[in-house]
């Protein structure tokens, strides 16, 4: 059964969310947000999904205050982070390129990424662009570190990195990524060529399993209409659903 690239990414992330009771995503994160809604559908509606910055009471928190309180109290099981740069130790950079503070490129900033990276047990890194300029040997600025020293209280941290080319898992003890699967149409050599950091790689790397037919049906018939509210442009571009009035 044919599927869109976005549907594969949604499925991959939803698989990683199995067992999560409360999943939070940002209003600018349509693929992770769609995956959270798919997970809720697969779990029979048992999962709670919060979309930060959205006004619909179905998804709403009151912004950073309630959301950060939930994270600090251990009431969020999974969240998603990204970065202009990500390195092999799962450090993320949301500040800019070059030597701080005289950077030649500046981004929006870290917001609460440092806090959430420490407090949410299952953080999934997601970046659609998989290139050496994004996946770098060492980030230029650490907005949030992937790992901490043993005496640092840190219940949270990275679980995986999902890109348009592959799926990496993250080993917090070894402080390294491991290539778990390569998406259809891509190869291990291609992943190596486009990844700036070293990673563990088994002798045989499987192809990422495609979305099952019943999962595709749920994405298209259940999830797609739901995301038209929080992610209208994504819903229109990928699924052809007109924005809600």
pLDDT tens by residue, the chain, 245 residues? 899 999 999 999 999 999 999 999 988 899 999 999 999 999 998 889 988 766 554 555 555 677 888 899 999 999 999 999 999 999 999 999 998 888 889 888 888 899 999 999 999 999 999 999 999 999 999 999 999 999 999 999 999 999 999 999 999 999 999 999 999 999 999 999 999 999 999 999 999 999 999 999 999 999 999 998 889 999 999 999 987 66
Cα-based distances in Å from 136 to 6, 35, 83, 210, 244: 24, 26, 11, 28, 39
The closest of 5, 3, 17, 85 to 47, measured between CA atoms, is 17
Domain regions of the chain by residue span? 1-81+212-245, 84-110+129-154+163-208
Q: How many residues does the chain have?
A: 245
Check whether the bond before 101 is cis (ω within 30° of 0): yes
pLDDT of residue 245: 60
The closest of 168, 166, 169, 199 to 183, measured between CA atoms, is 166
84-110+129-154+163-208: CATH topology is Glutaconate Coenzyme A-transferase (3.40.1080)
pTM of the complete model: 0.94
DSSP 135-197: EESS-SS-SB-S---TTS-----EEEEE-SSEEEEEETTTTEEEEEEE-TT--HHHHHHT-SS
């Amino acid at each position: 059964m044919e599927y869109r690239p976005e549907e594969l990414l949604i499925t991959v992330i939803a698989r990683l969310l199995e067992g999560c009771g409360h999943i939070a995503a940002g209003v600018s994160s349509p693929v992770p947000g769609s995956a959270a809604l798919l997970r809720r559908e697969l779990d029979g509606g048992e999962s709670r999904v919060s979309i930060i910055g959205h006004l619909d009471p179905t998804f709403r928190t009151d912004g950073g205050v309630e959301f950060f309180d939930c994270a600090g109290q251990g009431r969020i099981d999974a969240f998603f982070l990204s970065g202009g740069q990500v390195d092999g130790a799962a450090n993320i950079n949301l500040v800019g390129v070059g030597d701080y503070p005289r950077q030649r490129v500046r981004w929006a900033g870290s917001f609460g990424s440092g806090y959430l990276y420490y407090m949410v047990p299952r953080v999934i890194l997601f970046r659609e662009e998989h290139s050496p300029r994004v996946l770098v040997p060492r980030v230029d600025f650490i907005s949030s570190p992937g790992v901490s020293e043993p005496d640092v209280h840190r219940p949270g941290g990275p679980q995986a990195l999902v890109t348009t080319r592959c799926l990496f898992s993250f080993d917090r003890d070894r402080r390294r990524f491991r290539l778990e699967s390569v998406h259809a149409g891509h190869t291990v050599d291609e992943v190596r060529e486009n990844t700036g950091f070293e990673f563990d790689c088994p002798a045989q790397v499987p192809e990422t399993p495609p979305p099952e037919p019943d999962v595709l049906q749920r994405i298209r018939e259940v999830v797609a209409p739901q995301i038209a509210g929080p992610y209208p442009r994504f819903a229109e571009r990928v699924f052809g659903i007109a924005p809600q009035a």
